[in-house]
Amino acid sequence: MRYKVDFLVIGSGIAGLTYALKVAPYGKVIIVTKDAAAESNTRYAQGGIAAVMYTPDTYEKHVQDTITAGAGLCDEKIVRITITESTERIKELINWGTNFDKTESGKYDLAKEGGHSEYRVLHHKDGTGAEIIRALIEQAQNHPNIEILENYFAVNLITQHHLGKIVNKKTADVSCFGAYVLNPETNLIDTILSKFTLMATGGSGNVYSTTTNPAIATGDGVAMTYRAKGKVENMEFIQFHPTSLYNPGERPSFLISEALRGFGAILKTVDGKEFMQKYDKRKSLAPRDIVARAIDNEMKISGDDHVCLDCRHLNKNDLINHFPNIYAKCFSIGIDIAKDMIPVVPAAHYSCGGIKTDEFGRTSIHNLYAAGECACTGLHGANRLASNSLLEALVFAHRASEDSILKINSVTINNEIPDWNAEGTVLNEEMVLITQTLKELQFIMSNYVGIVRSDLRLKRALDRLEIIFRETEDIYEKSILTRKICELRNLINIAYIIIKMAIHRKESRGLHFSLNYPKITN
């Protein structure tokens, strides 16, 4: 199949859907999404979305909290844009039908999370992402200009490379003409030609053994853009959420929202002793990098497999009312959070780096935008402030839509692009090789490129990765493509970028901590 559209959106999370809804009045939109439309990181977001709504909060306070968390690497201009546009974007989300919880006085019920100096997190109980995605999908499905292709997997971006024009990496002046996409009905690769493409493929948590991210988070967009010679940055800054439920064998790990600590829950060792006072004066509500490293250290000292989160001093009815999903999940595995401490461990959660974009979501590749978790706008720097990612996705999907709409009449579709050439490939019957290689990759990343790194661990990771990289490229080149082989290849690309950027960073800053450079730079 060969499609021609004005706007191609890859991904149906908050970023992709927001952009699609905004550009749809100006042309035909196709959203390709590799699973059911609702399946995304967005759907699992619990705590909420940070925005300045009422006094005593101010834009300046939110700006300063973001910059402090970012450990000296935030782009201040981008931080100011994001925060000052937050209220407007939230109003839009509400107009699209999203329900946020309110207090009895009719004001929005704002929560607090680590690193925030004010209560400013809008939420829908502890299932904010599911509520946002419900509202956005309903809008997109009812829009006559938007077609959603579910279970279609974007394999590669189309650039002049596909016209046989070699692109020199150093002088790269690359344009994007759409994407090659795996059609689930024919198992063939379709060509989707577009004037503009938005990369909105989300995170890459599955590069690690333990992650809060659903199976779709395999870094596809960053890997595709990197292969197309687009700029990628800050990938060494992987955020480990301090508190995922310790429930061995469960994947993804169930998140125990930071909002629970904002509500008064306290981190303790298995034998019930508080420990965060040793690491930071903000204790359990210090920024995530500090809390995750403290937990990692406590587990190493005690030899325990987890630490605990204690809610036993909190009112049971309030707990159930504010955190119904967390209460029910814990109860389902025999933990009554009003009576028992919750066993928790850190888990890979968020990629602060990604495809480098400017203030309009423009990447280094012409006509390719990126927004959401796959993008690196400069907002998060070396560590993301909790609940700033949904906000970032909204703000930059909006800004990218404005830029695309302005240019719509000056860009044409490139009709010379050839269809995908699958000559000489055969069905790969050794699926077990793919599954095993994925486990090896996750082992390498979790053991050598986790919360605490060192030069030696990173070198070991790179050496091991080179072997599985060669083996996987070999399978990829000979195989009829499947989603699994493409995802594995993308995750290996992501691991390579993370390791290379981590090796390059000769300091400890934000989420990147190295035993060789233990003095923390801010």
By the rule CB under 6 A, 24 interacts with ligand FAD: no
Determine which one of 288, 293, 399, 509 is catalytic. Answer: 288
Smallest distance, ligand FAD to C-beta of residue 387, A:
4
Based on DSSP, count helices (H) and strands (E) in the chain, helices before strands.
Answer: 15, 20
Nearer to ligand SIN, 86 or 387 (CB): 387
34 touches, from ligand FAD, ligand SIN, none (C-beta below 5 to 8 Å by class): ligand FAD
By the rule CB under 6 A, 49 interacts with ligand FAD: yes
User: CB of 408 within 8 A of CB of 6?
Assistant: yes
By the rule CB under 6 A, 35 interacts with ligand FAD: yes
* Residue ranges binding ligand SIN (CB under 6 A): 46-47, 255, 257-259, 350, 386-387, 389
Contacts 24+ apart (CB under 8 A), 328-331: 329/245, 329/254, 330/245
User: CB of 172 within 8 A of CB of 161?
Assistant: no
Smallest distance, ligand FAD to C-beta of residue 192, A:
11
SS percent in the chain: helix, strand, coil, step 5: 40, 20, 40
> Letter for the amino acid at 438?
L
By the rule CB under 6 A, 213 interacts with ligand FAD: yes
By the rule CB under 6 A, 129 interacts with ligand FAD: yes
Nearer to ligand FAD, 33 or 514 (CB): 33
199 touches, from ligand FAD, ligand SIN, none (C-beta below 5 to 8 Å by class): none
Residue count (the chain): 522
**507: CB partners within 8 A, 6+ apart:** 514, 517, 519, 521
User: CB of 407 within 8 A of CB of 92?
Assistant: no
**Does residue 293 carry a catalytic annotation?**
no
Helices marked H in 33-185: 41-44, 59-69, 76-84, 86-95, 128-141
By the rule CB under 6 A, 154 interacts with ligand FAD: yes
Q: How far from the centroid of its chain's Cα atoms is residue 339's Cα?
A: 33
By the rule CB under 6 A, 158 interacts with ligand FAD: no
By the rule CB under 6 A, 12 interacts with ligand FAD: yes
By the rule CB under 6 A, 488 interacts with ligand FAD: no
Nearer to ligand SIN, 230 or 287 (CB): 287
User: CB of 197 within 8 A of CB of 315?
Assistant: no
By the rule CB under 6 A, 45 interacts with ligand FAD: yes
Catalytic residues: 288
Binding residues for ligand FAD (CB under 6 A): 10-16, 32-35, 39-42, 44-49, 128-129, 153-154, 200-203, 212-213, 216-217, 220, 255, 350, 372-374, 387-390, 393
